[in-house]
């Protein structure tokens, strides 16, 4: 097999891996938290100390790596710490806003790791990877907001939830539009123009 064909297969494989990474990131970020079990102040303090200890251990484990693999490892370690602390705070405060904050923290941690993994790609594949990570973050935050508004109060809950869902749908649609436009950049000439026109028509953009 020629070196050219091998290079093409490797590039294609990285592109598919990038898409799979973003699909996994989107699923992880969008997945709602498990029901929160309230904890005491002492349990919260213990959870925070444990998160700090685990973070130091995780970072030490990253020291044997190099390059982007090390960056990904550190992003995972820091994200894990932030999520653990946010989950503990959500359990301690046990309020809709605290639970929303924990979900946002989880989404941002997933996003940070996904962005680092995109650095293993190049060209349009990397651009699409980044846009998909951006879209996953937007969607996760939007869903967290919808659920928080729904849980905030029953007074005017239906109206507030409808407004939040409408806003969330707009944000999700705009995020998906950016991904579609980014994918068009891999094309040229009439093919690119057609791609852009199709994307605009699909997402109601002028």
| Residue range 76-117, pLDDT digits in tens | 999 999 999 999 999 999 988 999 999 999 999 999 999 999
Name the most confidently modeled range: 12-16, 139-143, 154-158. 139-143
Instruction: Name the pTM for this structure.
Output: 0.71
**Contact call for residues 161 and 148 (beta carbons, < 8 A):** no
**H helix runs in the chain, sequence order:** 3-30, 41-62, 67-93, 96-118, 123-152, 157-184, 189-203
Task: Give the per-residue pLDDT at 2.
Answer: 44
Domain boundaries, the chain: 14-30+39-203
Tokens of 39: 């904890």
| Sign of the Cα pseudo-torsion (128, 10, 20, 196, in order) | positive
Task: Give the per-residue pLDDT at 143.
Answer: 96
Is the pLDDT assigned to residue 39 strictly greater than 90? yes
Q: Between vectors from CA 106 to CA 166 and to CA 101, what angle results, nearest 5°? A: 60
Is the pLDDT assigned to residue 56 strictly greater than 80? yes
- 181 vs 17, higher pLDDT: 181
Least Cα distance to 137 among 101, 169, 112 occurs for 112
């Amino acid at each position: 097999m020629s070196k050219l064909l091998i290079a093409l297969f490797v590039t294609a494989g990285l592109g598919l891996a990038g898409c799979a990474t973003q699909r996994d990131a989107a699923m992880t970020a969008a997945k709602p938290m498990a029901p929160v079990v309230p904890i005491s102040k002492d349990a919260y303090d213990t959870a925070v100390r444990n998160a700090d200890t685990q973070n130091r251990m995780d970072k030490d484990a990253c020291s044997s790596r190099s390059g982007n693999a090390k960056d990904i490892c550190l992003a995972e370690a820091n994200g894990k710490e932030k999520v653990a602390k946010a989950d503990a705070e959500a359990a301690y405060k046990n309020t809709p806003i605290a639970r929303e904050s924990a979900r946002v923290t989880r989404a941002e941690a997933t996003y940070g790791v996904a962005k680092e993994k995109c650095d293993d790609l190049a060209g349009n594949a990397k651009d699409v990877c980044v846009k998909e990570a951006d879209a996953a973050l937007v969607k996760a935050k939007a869903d967290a907001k919808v659920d928080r508004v729904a849980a905030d109060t029953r007074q005017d809950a239906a109206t507030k939830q409808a407004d939040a869902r409408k806003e969330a749908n707009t944000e999700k649609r705009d995020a998906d539009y950016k991904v579609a436009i980014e994918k068009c950049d891999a094309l040229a000439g009439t093919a690119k123009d057609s791609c852009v026109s199709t994307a605009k028509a699909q997402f109601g953009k002028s």
